[in-house]
Amino acid sequence: MVAKRIIPCLDVKDGRTVKGINFVSLRDVGDAVELGRRYSDEGADELVYLDISATFEGRRTFCSLVEKIALAINIPFTVGGGISSVDDAARLLDAGADKISVNTAAIKNPRLISDIASKYGSQFVVIAIDARQVDGLWMATTHGGKYPTDKELFSWAHEAQERGAGELLFTSMDHDGTKAGYPLATYRELNQLLSIPVIASGGAGSIRDIADVLGDGCADAALAASIFHLGEIRIPDLKRELKKLNIPVRI
C-alpha cells in the first residue's frame, strides 16, 4: 500500500516564513530554510513553499531562496505563488524546486497547465484549487478565496488532470482555519473521479482530523501550516498515531 504523505506548508514573504489569517496581520515565524530543515528532520514527507510577496524584488528573493532550500533539505518540495508563465515555472524548477503549484493563473489561462507539463512533465505540475460551496456546488475561487469564478470544483479538477496536472491540492475555503475537520465526502468524490493524487488542505485541528481525511476521505496526503508552526501537533507524534490507526505512513 502506498504511504500517505504529511506535508507542512510555509508561506514566504521576502524570504521569511510568516503566519497570518488570509495573509493579513502577518508575523514572522522563522527562517524558511531552517524551518524546512527542521520539518525534514522530523519526518515530513514533502514541503510546500508559497510565495506571498507582492513585489518584484520579493519574487527575486524567493527564487534565490529556492536554491538555498534545495541545498538544505533532502525531501521533495513544491513551490507556488505568482507563477503565471512557463518562464516563471522554469526559473523555480531550474533553481531546484521539485514541483510547482499553479492556481489563479491556471484559472485565467488553463493552457498554462499543459504548457508547463509538456515542457517538464506532469509530475512537476500541481494544480491548486481553493473552492467554497455556493448553492450546493463547490465553486473555485482565486486570490486565496477572495474572488469567485464560474469553475466548478470537480469539472475543473478533471480538466486540469486532462491538461497535464500530476497532482491536485484542494483547499475548502469553508473549512480553512476552522480546525473543525475536512469535508470528507468531497475528498472521496475527488479520489473516485481522478487518477492523480489528491492533497487535502484546510480544516486540520487534530490528529483525528488528519487520520479521517487520509482514511475515510481517501486523500493521498495532508497539508497543514499553523498546527505545525505553533507546535500544536508534532510530525513524529502525528505519524506514530496514524500508524496506530492503520494509516500507512513512513516513519
What confidence tens digit (pLDDT) does each residue in 54-77 have?
677 778 889 999 999 999 999 999
The contacts of residue 149 (CB under 8 Å, 6+ apart) are 107, 139, 140, 141, 142
User: Tell me, what amino acid is at 98?
Assistant: D
The contacts of residue 157 (CB under 8 Å, 6+ apart) are 127, 129, 168, 170, 190, 193, 194
Predicted confidence at residue 23, as pLDDT, reads 45
Predicted confidence at residue 58, as pLDDT, reads 78
Of 3, 67, 81, 76, the closest CA to residue 32 belongs to 67
User: Tell me, what amino acid is at 123?
Assistant: Q
d(CA 207, CA 57): 38
The model carries a pTM of: 0.94
Strands 221-224 and 5-13: parallel
pLDDT tens series, the chain, 251 aa: 799 999 999 999 888 888 755 544 566 767 899 999 999 999 999 999 999 886 777 788 899 999 999 999 999 999 999 899 999 999 999 999 999 999 999 999 999 999 999 999 999 999 999 999 999 999 999 988 889 999 999 999 999 999 999 999 999 998 877 787 899 999 999 999 999 999 999 889 999 999 999 999 999 999 998 899 888 999 999 999 999 999 999 99
d(CA 100, CA 184): 26
Count the Cβ atoms, other than its own, within 10 Å of residue 20. 14
Q: Which residues are catalytic?
A: 11, 130
The contacts of residue 197 (CB under 8 Å, 6+ apart) are 166, 167, 168, 220, 221
* Domain residue ranges of the chain, discontinuous segments joined by +: 5-244
H/E element holding 148?
strand 147-152
The contacts of residue 227 (CB under 8 Å, 6+ apart) are 179, 204, 205, 233
d(CA 46, CA 59): 22
Q: Does domain 5-244 have CATH number 2.60.120.10?
A: no
Q: Residue 148 corresponds to which cell in the numbers above?
A: 469567485
If 0-12 CB within 10 Å is exposed, 13-18 middle and 19+ buried, where does residue 147 land? exposed
Count the Cβ atoms, other than its own, within 10 Å of residue 85. 13
d(CA 143, CA 192): 28
User: Tell me, what amino acid is at 70?
Assistant: A
Q: Is 171 in contact with 141 (CB distance < 8 Å)?
A: no
d(CA 191, CA 224): 19
DSSP at 4: B
H/E element holding 244?
helix 235-244
